[in-house]
A and B are shown apart, each in its own frame.
Chain A
Amino acid sequence: MFPYISVLLAVLLVGAVITFLTRTREQARVVAVITTWIGFGITLIMALKYDPALGLKNFEESYTWIPSIGIGYHVGVDGVGFPMALLTTLVSAFCAVYAWGEKLRPNQFFGLLVLMDLALTGVFVSLDFFLFYIFWELTLIPMFFLIGIWGGPRKDYSAIKFLIYTHVASVIMLLGIFAMFYFNFKATGVYTFDIVALLNAYQALPLEPFWKNFIFAALLFGFLVKMPAVPFHTWLPDAHVEAPTIGSILLAGVLLKMGGYGLFRFLLPMIPNASNLFIYVIAVFGIVSIWYSAVAALAQKDIKKLVAFSSIGHMGFISLGVAASIAIGAEIPRIFAQTGAMFQLFSHGIVTSVLFGSAGVIEHHTGTRIIEDLGGLTKKMPRFAFLMVAGFFASLGLPGMSGFIAEFSILVGSYPQLPIFVIIAVTSIPVVAGYHLWAVQRAMFGPYNEHLGNITDVTWYEFAALAMWVFLIILLGIYPMPIFDMMNSTATYFVGSVLPTGGIVP
């Protein structure tokens, strides 16, 4: 079979290197756009060839790499990994268009963008822990430099906080991986870092409770920091506020998804063997994130920070959906909750891209992001206003847009298992709608703020990128089936075969 994934990774790697080596801005952006769109094209072809019945065998490739300690090059995708890979290449491709006007060190900027695309795609397709960890860590480096070189005034602090915070989480996760490796070796005498093998081993082996919980907690910590869940979220608003627009889009749109992806790929299959307490832990993290972010967003003066907090809230819904899909209950709602949570990963990726893209447009065109200094932008930027308002509506969960599908499925699917948690989550919706609408009202409508002077509407490349995202949001809001079905089949497999009984009655 044609090695789609390896070709995809190779194209992105070569593209990143070439972009770094380009001399002029023109060359850099053309190479970056071509590379990321080829990558997007490859994933689209893969989407057509994807077979839900195959599960992780889709586009699987497996070679030995460092056999002496059981490391292999093993890649493959299923209904969790593939939509994420698609999201990565899609967002990166649109970002390359959006960033068309970048003037500062363009070859490095676009090179880092393509490198980011590579690292993130790699995370979602890896099926070997060593390979996975390499890509997982590789995502930090382009983001660190994106924040550090193109960032705002407090970029030093934010960049290093981002790097250290998430790196600490990664190394703790690595210890969990080591422990899995060791216990598998102890039981079978085989060295392997293969993800599927180790996850199966975790279920099959009679581990001591301490190690069982340690492994689970170490991985969970790694993912919760990445998502991020309150109270491990403090690096995120800082990173977002200082990051350049592209950095924010990639950070919120794709990088945070690594945490959610980790929950599905690693922790769900481990649940039956882990302590039941973890169901509550995950659900509580979800609820706290939802409410805390809603209240915090209300108080934000900076529109980008507001958007950053909205991301934390949306990721909270994912935690809730995951918890609901492993709590005891009927199979149908659990599948529904899980599919919704997976869909939220994808949907939030494109919705938040529009929001951060809009915040970026406002900053580039007016020179400020403080909501109170804006006002009446619709009068000067009518085309932009349409796209931005569409994005905000999608974020607050307006029916007919992709965010609604996701959150509706999560809430409906979770209610039978975790009714109290769902009620608490639902009551946050007015607040969520409130801060979105309030921000739009103050920034976009009302009388035009004359202090802003004469501003221009969006440039063609910003418009093109935002419009593509909005188009997708509406398309998936009306007809989510292509992606929803893909996820649904994987969720059915998880719930039906891996976790047939579920956890505890709440």
Chain B
Amino acid sequence: MNLTLLAPILILVALSIVIILAGLFLKTKQKINLGYLTILGILASLAIVVKNGFIPAQYLFYNTLVIDTLSQFFNMVFLIVAILVAIASLKYYENNPNQDEYYSLLLLGTVGMMIVGSSSDLITLFVGFELASLSTYVLAGFDKKDPRSLEAALKYFIIGAISSGILLFGMSLVYGITGSTNLAVIFSTLSTSSAASLAVIFLIAGFGFKMALVPFHMWAPDTYEGAPTPITALLAAGSKKMAFIAAFRVFMIALIAVKTDWFLVFAVLAVISMTLGNVVAIVQKSVKRMLAYSSIAHAGYIAIAFVVVAYSLENAQLENAQFALAGGILHVLSHGIMKAGAFIAVALVGYMVLSDKKGPALDHIDSYSGLGKRAPITALMLTLLLFALAGIPPTFGFYSKFVLFLSAIRADLLWLAIVAVLNSALSVYYYAKVFMTMYWGEPTGGRIKESMPYVTAMVIAVILIMVLGIYPEPIYNWAISSAGALLGG
């Protein structure tokens, strides 16, 4: 067994233990160093993951973990999001005496996501899921004096627990049918039956909650709005993507093995998710809530990958299934970076409105009035990130949508592509409202000092989005070979 392949996970686990122990001995003022340590650790981990990006699949721990291009790709997504969140948190929790616990939980949450991304067994997958969920439940309620944060955590916890139950029930049905929790064994033994269909329905519902697809989305806006903003970034950009990788791994098997018309189920979920997300986002006054609904819409876009894959497999177009899956994977990455960056910008605005006290509610759109003059860097970065979310070229957000929508046309699903592009065009409306407020609203206060950590995190996100948008070749190749790894196996 080659433990160096697990090094990225092991580094983070060790680091989280070190941090929580060191926290016992450090004064609050010194604890910020733990934040820097966290960032360094994640960077090291990211470097290893990227270096081993293209490796043939290797199974570890008696076939419960698999390290292949797909798992490496998603590990990269989680690590990039974690690093952005950690950088922004340096300032957000600068004087918090419990910083050590915060960073430790952040690392453990990331580890959970990485385990989900690398699991080839339902039990490992579930354990990883729970590790990530438990860490993020606590993180969502980390501002324990703020009732909104508590409400967010409670809602998230209750819904999370129920959905875990549903998921587990689906998994137990699968186990009952096949007698194994190993995905490869399930793949070879599962066949069409009513019990299998029932299992898939439970799995769809369970993952649907985690992915925040309509109609399983109710918790998401409240939780995203109430949670501390850097954690919102982690939830929307990281833990939601964990559900996607889990669903990719599990459903590909179910889809290939259980030959039913699943594509229509996913099509309905995708269409109502993006439509409802976009329509409801239009009327939001809170930017944070608006971004929460936009992330539901984006979950709908990613779900297009499921639709097209299901449809292509039914029609034996393996190449297009791979293409669509690559589009979904790319959109997971691009949405992760964009959303993390955008929420960090929101965190910065909230932070600075807090410092001048008299503004409207922290994340209300009016706080953004005249931001172009008050905080020019933040305004510019947020504008670029919102352009990317809206799918305006030449950003990476455009490229990933480009591949996704193209795959829908290739699969002969014209109606789906039309719904998707019209939705994408509709979303421009509410994003545009934000930069309209920022650039031609009257400033509500003086110039603001934009703190370094936030700006660094946003600039990293924007640079990634632009560079990957202008030269997507390497990342596309990675995504397509990840998709190949999944469909081939």
Contact = CB atoms under 8 A, between A and B. Distances in A.
Interface of A: 65-69, 130, 133-134, 137-138, 140-141, 144-145, 148-149, 155-156, 159-160, 163-164, 167-168, 171-172, 174-175, 178-179, 181-182, 185, 214
7 contacts: A140-B392, A149-B440, A156-B440, A159-B432, A160-B433, A171-B422, A182-B410
Contacts of A178: 405-406, 409-410, 417
Interface stretch (B64-72, B79-87, B470-478): B470-478
Contacts of A174: 405, 421
A338 B169 CA distance: 69
Contact of B428 (A66, A145, A163, A172): A163
A449 B405 CA distance: 59
Given A178-B409, A178-B417, A160 B425 contact: no
A173 to B, nearest CB: 10
B394 interface: yes
Given A68-B480, A164-B429, 13 more contacts: A134-B394, A137-B393, A141-B387, A149-B439, A164-B432, A168-B422, A171-B421, A171-B422, A175-B409, A178-B406, A179-B409, A179-B414, A182-B406
Contact of B425 (A138, A155, A164): A164
Interface of B: 387, 392-394, 398, 402-403, 405-406, 409-410, 414, 417-418, 421-422, 424-426, 428-429, 432-433, 436, 439-440, 471-473, 476-477, 480
A156 B439 CA distance: 11
Nearest to A172: B421
A22 to B, nearest CB: 14
Contacts of A133: 393
Given A137-B392, A182-B409, A159 B480 contact: no
Nearest to B472: A66
Nearest to B387: A141
Contacts of A172: 418, 421
Contact of A68 (B409, B410, B436, B477): B477
Given A171-B421, A174-B421, A178-B406, A164 B436 contact: no
A67 B476 CA distance: 10
Given A66-B473, A68-B480, A141-B387, A160 B409 contact: no
Given A160-B429, A178-B409, A171 B476 contact: no
Given A145-B439, A149-B439, A214-B414, A134 B429 contact: no
B375 to A, nearest CB: 16
Nearest to B405: A178
A171 B394 contact: no
B409 A159 contact: no
A159 B436 contact: yes
A175 B417 contact: yes
A137 B422 CA distance: 15
A397 B426 CA distance: 41
A172 B405 CA distance: 12
Given A68-B477, A141-B387, A141-B392, A164 B405 contact: no
A144 B429 CA distance: 12
B432 A171 contact: no
Nearest to B424: A171
Nearest to B406: A178
Given A148-B439, A175-B421, A182-B409, A69 B432 contact: no
A185 B409 CA distance: 12
Contacts of A164: 425-426, 428-429, 432
A167 B392 CA distance: 9
A159 B394 CA distance: 21
B405 A175 contact: yes
Contacts of B436: 148, 156, 159-160
A167 B476 CA distance: 26
A65 B471 CA distance: 8
A137 B394 CA distance: 9
Given A66-B472, A163-B428, A164-B425, A138 B393 contact: yes
B406 A160 contact: no
Contact of B476 (A66, A140, A182): A66
Given A182-B409, A182-B410, A148 B428 contact: no
A172 B409 CA distance: 12
Contacts of B422: 168, 171
A160 B435 CA distance: 11
Contact of A167 (B403, B405, B428, B433): B428
A134 B393 contact: yes
Nearest to B399: A66
Contacts of A67: 473
B440 A148 contact: yes
Contacts of A156: 436, 440
Contacts of A144: 432
A149 B439 CA distance: 7
Nearest to B474: A68
B406 A68 contact: no
B281 to A, nearest CB: 14
Contact of A168 (B402, B406, B425): B425
A197 to B, nearest CB: 16
Contacts of A141: 387, 392
Smallest CB-CB A-B distances: 3 pairs: A171-B421, A134-B393, A178-B409
Contacts of A149: 439-440
Contacts of B433: 160
A212 to B, nearest CB: 13
Contacts of B392: 137, 140-141
A182 B433 CA distance: 35
A220 to B, nearest CB: 16
Nearest to A170: B425
A137 B424 CA distance: 14
A69 B480 CA distance: 11
A184 to B, nearest CB: 11
Contact of A163 (B418, B432, B473): B432
Nearest to A147: B440
Contacts of A214: 414
Contacts of B402: 130
A88 B439 CA distance: 27
A193 B428 CA distance: 25
Nearest to B441: A156
Contacts of B440: 148-149, 155-156
A163 B431 CA distance: 11
B457 to A, nearest CB: 23
Contacts of B417: 175, 178
Contacts of A137: 392-393, 398
Which of B409, B414, B424 gathers the greatest number of chain A CB atoms within 10 Å?
Answer: B409
B405 to A, nearest CB: 7
A176 B406 CA distance: 10
Which of B387, B403, B432 gathers the greatest number of chain A CB atoms within 10 Å?
Answer: B432
A356 B414 CA distance: 41
B400 to A, nearest CB: 12
Contacts of B425: 164, 167-168, 171
A143 to B, nearest CB: 13
Nearest to A148: B440
Contacts of B428: 163-164, 167
Contacts of A163: 428, 432
A116 to B, nearest CB: 15
